[in-house]
Chains A and B, each alone.
Chain A
Amino acid sequence: MMPRAKLKAQKRDAAQARLAALSLPQGGGWVTRARTAARARLLDMGLPVKRDEYWRYTDPRDLTSDQFAAAKVLKITDEEPAFSAVDRVKLVFVDGVFDALASDDPALAGVEISLLLDVANTDLHWAQDIYGKLEARGQLPVERPLAAFNTAFAQQGVLIRATAKAAKPVALVYLRSHEHADAIMHHIVRVEQGAELTLLENGPVAARFNQVIEAEIGAGGTLHHVRTQGRDHDRAGSAHLFAQLGQGAQLKSFTLTANGRLVRNEAMIWLDGQGGSAHIAGATVGDGAFHHDDTVFVTHGAQGGESRQVFKKVLRNGAVGVFQGKILVEQAAQQTDGYQISQALLLDENAQFLAKPELEIYADDVKCSHGSTSGEIDPAQLFYLRARGVPEAKAKMLLVLAFLAEALDEIADPDLAEDLRGRMESWLQRHS
Chain B
Amino acid sequence: MVALDETQLREGVDRETVETVQSMAGTYKHGWETDIEMEFAPKGLNEDIVRLISEKNKEPEWLLEWRLEAYRRWLTMESPDWAMLKIPEIDYQEQYYYAKPKSMVEKPKSLDDVDPKLLETYAKLGIPLKEQMILAGVEGADEGRKVAVDAVFDSVSLGTTFKDELKKAGVIFCSISEAVQDHPDLVKKYLGSVVPQNDNYFAALNSAVFSDGSFVYIPAGVKCPMELSTYFRINAENTGQFERTLIVAEKGASVSYLEGCTAPKRDTTQLHAAVVEIVILEDADVKYSTVQNWFPGDENGKGGIYNFVTKRADCREDRAKVMWTQVETGSAITWKYPSCILRGDDTQGEFYSIAIANNWQQADTGTKMVHLGKNSRSRIVSKGISAGHAQNTYRGLVSMHPKATNSRNYTQCDSLLIGDKCGAHTVPYIEVRNASSRVEHEATTSKVDDDQLFYCRQRGMDEEEAVALVVNGFCKEVLQELPMEFAMEAQALVAISLEGSVG
**Chain A residues engaging chain B, CB cutoff 8 angstroms:** 2-4, 53, 331, 334, 344, 346-376
A110 to B431, CA, bound (A): 47
Selected from A348, A362, A369, A370, the residue in CB contact (under 8 A) with B435 is A348
Contact B432 A346 (CB under 8 A): yes
Cβ–Cβ contact B431 & A354, under 8 A? yes
Complex Cα spacing A358 to B10, Å? 25
B426 touches which of A349, A353, A370, A375 (Cβ 8 Å): A370
Can you list 27 A-B contacts (CB < 8 A)? Answer: A3-B77, A4-B81, A331-B420, A346-B432, A346-B434, A347-B435, A353-B430, A354-B431, A356-B429, A357-B443, A359-B415, A359-B424, A359-B425, A359-B445, A361-B417, A362-B422, A364-B422, A366-B417, A368-B445, A368-B446, A369-B443, A369-B445, A372-B428, A372-B440, A375-B439, A376-B435, A376-B438
Give the dominant DSSP class at A's interface: strand
- A346-B432, A374-B439 given as contacts; is B78 within 8 A of A367 (CB)? no
A371 touches B445 (CB 8 A): no
Number of interface residues of B (CB under 8 A): 42
Residue of B nearest to A353 (CB): B432
Q: Which 10 A-B residue pairings sit nearest by Cβ, starting from the closest?
A: A346-B435, A364-B417, A375-B438, A374-B432, A355-B430, A359-B426, A372-B441, A369-B444, A376-B435, A353-B432
Which residues of A sit under 8 angstroms from B436, Cβ to Cβ? Answer: 349, 376
Chain B neighbourhood of A371, CB < 8 A: 440-443
Does more than half of chain B's interface fall in helix, strand or loop, or is it mixed? strand
Bound state CA distance, A208 and B425, in angstroms?
36
A370, B443: Cβ atoms closer than 8 Å: yes
Q: Given A347-B435, A349-B405, A351-B435: A372 and B430 within 8 A (CB)? A: yes
Add 12 more A-B contacts to A361-B445, A362-B420, A368-B444 (CB < 8 A). A346-B432, A349-B402, A350-B435, A354-B431, A356-B427, A356-B430, A357-B443, A359-B425, A361-B417, A365-B447, A374-B432, A376-B435
Annotate B386-414 by CB proximity to A: 1 below 8 A, 0 otherwise.
00000000000000101001000000000
Q: How far is the CB of A53 from chain B (nearest CB, A)?
A: 6
Residues of A within 8 A of B76 (CB): 2-3
Q: Among A362, A366, A371, find the residue whose CB has the most chain B CB atoms closer than 10 A.
A: A362
**Of the residues A334, A358, A368, contact of B420 by C-beta under 8 Å:** A334
Asked whether, in the complex, the Cβ of B445 is within 8 Å of the Cβ of A373, the reply is no
Asked whether B476 is an interface residue with its Cβ less than 8 Å from the other chain, the reply is: no
Which residues of the partner chain A approach B447 to less than 8 Å between Cβ atoms?
364-366
B445 touches A357 (CB 8 A): no
Q: A349-B405, A373-B438, A376-B435 are in contact. Are A358 and B430 (CB under 8 A)?
A: no
Partner of A354, one of B432, B437, B444: B432
Selected from B77, B422, B428, B438, the residue in CB contact (under 8 A) with A374 is: B438
How many angstroms between the C-alpha atoms of A357 and B10 in the bound complex? 28
Which residues from A are CB-within-8-Å of B422?
A: 362, 364
Q: With a CB–CB cut-off of 8 A, which chain B residues contact A352?
A: 431-433
Q: How far is the CA of A62 from the CA of B444 in the complex (A)?
A: 37
Quick check: B82 and A53 within 8 Å, CB to CB? yes
**Inter-chain contacts of B78 with A (CB < 8 A):** 2-4
Instruction: Looking at the assembled complex, report how far the CB atom of B81 sits from the nearest CB atom of chain A, in whole angstroms.
Output: 7
Closest to B400 in A: A374
Q: Which residues of B contact A359 (CB under 8 A)?
A: 415, 424-426, 443, 445
Among A331, A353, A357, A373, contact of B428 (Cβ-Cβ < 8 Å): A357
Are B425 and A375 closer than 8 Å at their CB atoms? no
* CB nearest neighbor in A for B84: A360
User: Is B209 in contact with chain A by the CB < 8 A criterion?
Assistant: no
Residue of A nearest to B440 (CB): A373
From A351, A353, A361, A367, name the one whose CB has the most chain B CB atoms within 10 angstroms. Answer: A361
